[in-house]
Amino acid sequence: MAAPPELSVDGQPATTDDLSHVALVNYGAYTSFRVEQGSVRGLDLHVARLDAQAVELFGEPVGDSRLRELVRAAVAGRGDCWLRVSLFSPGISPRTPDWTGRPRVMIAVSPPPPPLADRVRLQVQTYAREAPHLKHVATFGLIRARRVARAAGFDDALFVDAEGHVSEGSLWNIGFIRGSEVIWPQALMLAGIAQALVERGLGSVGLTGVSAPVHVSDLSRFDGAFICNSATPACAVAAIGDQVFATPPVLIDRLQAAWASNPLQPI
């Protein structure tokens, strides 16, 4: 069994009270990323998303400088590691939902995880996360979706709405490939940081990106597909339901290079 992550809250070791609240009250938001020798790709995007989520969910920002200060303290003296930075407040519970203020910041430090997979087969499921634009901590639906997909012989779940429009996956965004163009689904979903980094770097590898509605009936029109998240810059999709894709490995290499073209940003 892997060692548990090291947990801190507002720069101090997490207390039993902190952990009890987080375990019992499923209200908050987070972001996660790899730290490479004190730097992070897309750190500006992670910090901006956290602060926007703080305002929307708690009423006040944490602040760019404060978030960076806490991240620096958490990774001090370490090499490569993985951080999950979460926002919560002990003032909010099912009986006291109206608290407003600056949330507390919990940081979990652990070894970097491996990519999700090399290739995945996806089961189409009609599902949408609650408040899909937020990277919130309510993960019941996501875990259940993955369990259902795996029980049916797939690797993971791809979400579509009631009309069959593709949005996102359980833990990742999806992109479709047609020629030299990457098509990102236009839907209610989380705008992932890995997706943004791949998009930023597409021009450097001779590709272009566009956002457009994608319906499950459109799948046969694409040359390939891939998933991406912070631990998995690009992973080929082998199939979505009965639709098989032969995504060339060289194209996945180009997508990973697009992600890697983003500079490491010092914390």
pLDDT at 1: 58
pLDDT at 37: 87
pLDDT at 3: 77
In terms of phi and psi (left: phi > 0; alpha: psi -120 to 50; beta: otherwise), the region of 70 is alpha
pLDDT at 153: 98
From 84, 143, 73, select the one nearest 112 (Cα to Cα): 84
Map out the domains of the chain with their CATH numbers: 6-110 (3.30.470.10), 119-261 (3.20.10.10)
From 115, 144, 149, 117, select the one nearest 129 (Cα to Cα): 144
pLDDT at 79: 85
DSSP state of 94: T
In 14-135 the beta strands, taken as DSSP E runs, fall at: 29-35, 39-41, 81-88, 104-110, 119-126
Q: What sign for the dihedral angle of Cα 42, 104, 64, 72?
A: negative
Q: Is 62 exposed, middle or buried (0-12, 13-18, 19+ CB in 10 A)?
A: buried
Q: What sign for the dihedral angle of Cα 234, 159, 181, 239?
A: positive
pLDDT tens for each residue of the chain, 267 residues long: 577 899 999 999 999 999 999 999 999 999 999 999 899 999 999 999 999 999 999 999 999 999 999 999 999 989 899 999 999 999 999 999 999 999 999 999 999 999 999 999 999 999 999 999 999 999 999 999 999 999 999 999 999 999 999 999 999 999 999 999 999 999 999 999 999 999 999 999 999 999 999 999 999 999 999 999 999 999 999 999 999 999 999 999 999 999 999 999 999
Contacts of 129 (CB under 8 A, 6+ apart): 138, 141, 142, 159, 168, 189, 190
Contact assessment for residue 175 and residue 186, using Cβ atoms and an 8 Å cutoff? no
Amino acid at 168: E
